Chains A and B, each alone.
Chain A
């Protein structure tokens, strides 16, 4: 595929072609971040180079990436593997053995021995709600459910071991069910906007907001033992990495995990610091570099600048590639007007695909990282430029164009001398639209590990940390204004001279 080749050429500089580092990824919530950071530091302490993809995506995305060896390891839970991936709602005995055998047989993906704690779904309510409706178990909750509104994560609403199965098993019928982002659900519950949320039993925030978790008295939720699962590539090619990761097996009990989560979620401590401390405690400080005194998470300006530069680089590449394709495309379509509207319309339909969905489509095709993000951004940027080029050139002063033709000016000369210069302001407005869209969409590139200012946003959403979110969102907004401002200057330079300033004589 030519496109892919071009992209790889474009990326050749920043992406080193050395022996591939081990790619560690996480789901977008605090515990997953923390475990992944621990995996990463552990590997690095053994001299193994690592690429981090924190908060890469939900189960389907991570599992898809692991199957295609786009990532190498991430923390997973046996119950999730059983229900969400194997679609098996029956097996309850020896879940770990069953799941790990099926994964190896079906996908060649290996489960390392469990880390030692279980993190099951915890259906939580406010203490006063529990008291008012006398709620202790999920059976109690089912009885009171018509009076209660629930806020569940999209993941929980969508998966068979989530809301659907829960409602069927207990006969729950909530007054309303609102899909909530993981970052917001506890705040929504504490503020009374919803009465019930799905949490994880190891969440540090359960304690902070004084919540009551209800007992799964019918045993609906399967065991959710946490473990590292590794790609076929890693299992076959990197025994050193497997050996290092196995050091954590059985070393993290529920108490320790909850304490660690609390430091990240409640105290807003830096994930890397907490991970370093945990590894030091578990494996002995000799093997791990100890951090300094732990601090509140903050994003240093240097990192924001680096992220902004990365962001700009993504935008510049995607936008240049879009101009290179969409501008000639607009010109070709102007010559083939019969197909112009359908083709441009099809590009327009791409705009309606939510960015997250488009990024998810990219993973099976291009894996994770910069390439799929660039392809997605490029697809978004095509439409405004192609549309503007087509209409701009089509509508450029027809009398002047025809007179030139009648005087023996060749089609190529007409294009370069007449049609393109006259269409330039329209084309530039399309480019500006694309640029601003791309700056915005590029924040989502962080979801598939392409970096940029979306990184603190994704991280902040996962860790329910508004400061982190803003430290990405504000520079991104400023970048959009800056890019637009620069393009205004470019537009002025390209504006046909007769339109720049009228001397207004001899009128």
Chain B
């Protein structure tokens, strides 16, 4: 894995923030007065059950969703004043199941954003692929269906990084994978984070994963933020019974495996 040792870029570190964001879909409230801060260079996990509003909140940052009220800022600038296309190109994005273009090779997929910006860059593509542990010589010419689920997710992550974004948004990037692949991918992600301290906002339903990979954790439930803090704060000073129970359940899971309790 020495191949990706020297590979990286120095991202412009920008903060992401949401202030009192609300959004309704008809009668249902998707987001209720949500505020979240991701300081420049930090990794923030959004944790919650399905339907909690995690993905919706994430998509407010790249303007895939327009909130009804409140303010979303990327790099201290209101996203409503930013061109959506340019904004999205500054924000890397990966989703559950990858969303790779099935008719493009891994290398073509990773080069998508660069090509869209009119400056294709094979070297940057190779760098991004090696960053996620997929040497371009071996994997670059493969189509998504010729890759395993974990490899596809790595390609999606490389695609999010290839255009050297100022921040990345990851929507359940390790979802729908078996536990071992998930752990491997988590390691790969941690490695990327060590090399690139790029501001990261990622959605997961797994508190353990959030604890391993994020600096701070936002717990969401039914469109509201229950608590935002480090895993230590969540454990030692849960703001609500829901957070207390969430932490307890995650701990019980670890203990049932006979592993050391924290």
Beyond A403-B95, A406-B62, A406-B88, 19 additional contacts (C-beta under 8 Å) are: A399-B95, A400-B102, A406-B59, A407-B92, A407-B93, A407-B112, A408-B88, A408-B90, A408-B116, A409-B112, A409-B113, A410-B116, A413-B116, A422-B103, A497-B103, A498-B103, A499-B103, A507-B146, A507-B148
Alpha-carbon separation in the docked complex, A8 to B86 (Å): 46
A400 vs B93: C-alpha distance when bound (angstroms): 12
> What is the distance, in angstroms, from B27's C-beta to the closest C-beta of chain A?
23
Distance between Cα atoms of A421 and B85 in the complex (Å):
22
Looking at B31-39, B42-50, B137-145, B249-257, the stretch in contact with chain A turns out to be: B137-145
- Given A497-B143, A503-B146, does the pair A403, B100 have CB atoms closer than 8 Å? yes
Residue A313, interface by CB 8 Å: no
B222: Cβ under 8 A from any A Cβ: no
**Nearest residue in A to B147 (C-beta to C-beta)?**
A506
A399–B109 alpha-carbon span in the complex (Å): 14
Cβ-defined contact, B102 with A502, below 8 A: no
Report A249 CB to chain B, min CB distance, Å: 72
CB–CB B146/A403 < 8 A: no
Task: Determine if B99 is an interface residue (Cβ-Cβ < 8 Å).
Answer: yes
Question: Shortest Cβ distance from B12 into chain A, in angstroms?
Answer: 16
Within 8 A of A (CB), among B64-118: 64, 84-90, 92-95, 97-104, 112-113, 116-117
Query: Do A407 and B159 form a contact, CB below 8 Å, given A400-B99, A505-B142?
Result: yes
Q: Which residues of B contact A341 (CB under 8 A)?
A: none
Q: Give the A-binding residues of B (Cβ under 8 A).
A: 59, 62, 64, 84-90, 92-95, 97-104, 112-113, 116-117, 142-148, 151, 156, 159-160
17 A-B pairs (CB sep. < 8 Å): A397-B101, A397-B102, A399-B95, A403-B156, A405-B64, A406-B62, A407-B112, A408-B85, A408-B116, A421-B103, A496-B103, A497-B143, A498-B103, A506-B142, A506-B146, A506-B147, A506-B151
- Flag if B101 contacts A404 (CB, 8 Å): yes
Q: Do B86 and A408 have beta carbons less than 8 Å apart?
A: yes
On chain A, the residues within 8 Å of B94 by CB distance are 403
Top-5 shortest CB links A-B: A403-B99, A408-B88, A408-B89, A496-B103, A498-B143
Q: Which of A448-507 contact B (CB under 8 A)?
A: 496-499, 502-507
Alpha-carbon distance between A193 and B98 when the two chains are bound, in angstroms: 70
Residues in B with CB closer than 8 Å to A422 are: 102-103
Does any Cβ of B come within 8 Å of A190's Cβ? no
Contact between chains at B145 and A498 (CB < 8 Å)? yes
Task: Give the nearest-CB partner of A502 in chain B.
Answer: B145
C-alpha gap A407/B90 in the complex (Å): 9
Name the residue of chain A whose CB is nearest to the CB of B108. A417
Q: Which residues on A sit within 8 Å (CB–CB) of B95?
A: 399, 402-403, 406
In Å, the complex CA distance between A497 and B145 comes to 12
Q: Is the CB of A409 within 8 A of B116?
A: yes
Q: Please name all residues of chain A whose beta carbon is closer than 8 Å to the beta carbon of B104 when the two chains form the complex.
A: 498
Interface of A is mostly: helix
- Write the residues of chain A forming the contact surface with B, with a CB cutoff of 8 angstroms: 397, 399-400, 402-410, 413, 417-418, 421-422, 496-499, 502-507
Cβ–Cβ contact A502 & B146, under 8 A: yes
Given A406-B64, A507-B148, also A400-B100 (CB < 8 A): yes
Q: In the complex, what distance in Å separates the CA atom of A406 from the CA atom of B116?
A: 12
CA distance A403 to B160 in the complex (A): 10
> Would A498 and B144 be within 8 Å (CB), given that A400-B99, A402-B99, A406-B62 are in contact?
yes
Give the Cβ gap from B185 to chain A, nearest Cβ, in Å: 16
User: Nearest B residue to A414 by beta-carbon distance?
Assistant: B116
A408 to B116, CA, bound (A): 8
Q: Are B97 and A399 in contact (CB under 8 A)?
A: yes
A506 to B90, alpha carbons, bound, how many Å? 32
B148 near A400: Cβ-Cβ < 8 Å: no
Partner of B99, one of A399, A408, A417, A498: A399
Question: How distant is the Cα of A404 from the Cα of B103 in the complex, in angstroms?
Answer: 13
Across the interface, name the chain A residue whose C-beta is closest to B96: A399
How far, in Å, is A423 (CB) from chain B's closest CB? 11
Least Cβ distance of A127 to chain B in Å? 74
Kindly list chain A residues whose C-beta atoms are within 8 Å of the C-beta of B88: 405-408
- Which residue among A403, A407, A496 has the maximum number of chain B CB atoms within 10 Å of its CB? A407
Closest CB-CB distance, B184 to chain A, in whole Å? 15
Residue of A nearest to B156 (CB): A403
**Residues of the B chain whose Cβ atoms lie less than 8 Å from the Cβ of A503:** 146
Once the chains bind, are A418 and B101 in contact (CB under 8 Å)? Answer: yes
Contacts of B102 in A (CB 8 A): 397, 400, 422, 496, 498
Nearest to B138 among chain A residues (CB) is A506
Determine the distance from Cα of A406 to Cα of B89 in the docked complex, in whole angstroms. Answer: 8
Q: Which residues of B contact A400 (CB under 8 A)?
A: 99-102
- Give Cα A400 to B156, complex, Å: 11
A404 to B100, CA, bound (A): 8
Assess whether B145 is in contact with A408, with CB atoms less than 8 Å apart.
no
Contact between chains at B146 and A407 (CB < 8 Å): no
With A and B bound together, what is the CA distance between A498 and B144 in angstroms? 8
**Do B146 and A408 have beta carbons less than 8 Å apart?**
no
Complex contacts, A421 vs chain B, CB 8 Å: 103
In the docked arrangement, what's the CA distance between A422 and B104, Å? 11
Most buried by B among A409, A410, A422: A409
Give complex CA distance A418, B99 in Å.
Answer: 12
Contacts of A408 in B (CB 8 A): 84-90, 113, 116-117
Cα of A252 to Cα of B82 in the assembled complex, Å: 88
CA distance A408 to B85 in the complex (A): 5
A396 to chain B, nearest CB (A): 10
Are A504 and B146 neighbours in the complex by a CB distance under 8 Å? yes
Whole-angstrom CA separation of A329 from B181 in the bound complex: 45
Contacts of B86 in A (CB 8 A): 408
Q: Give the CA-CA distance A402 to B99 in the complex, in Å.
A: 8
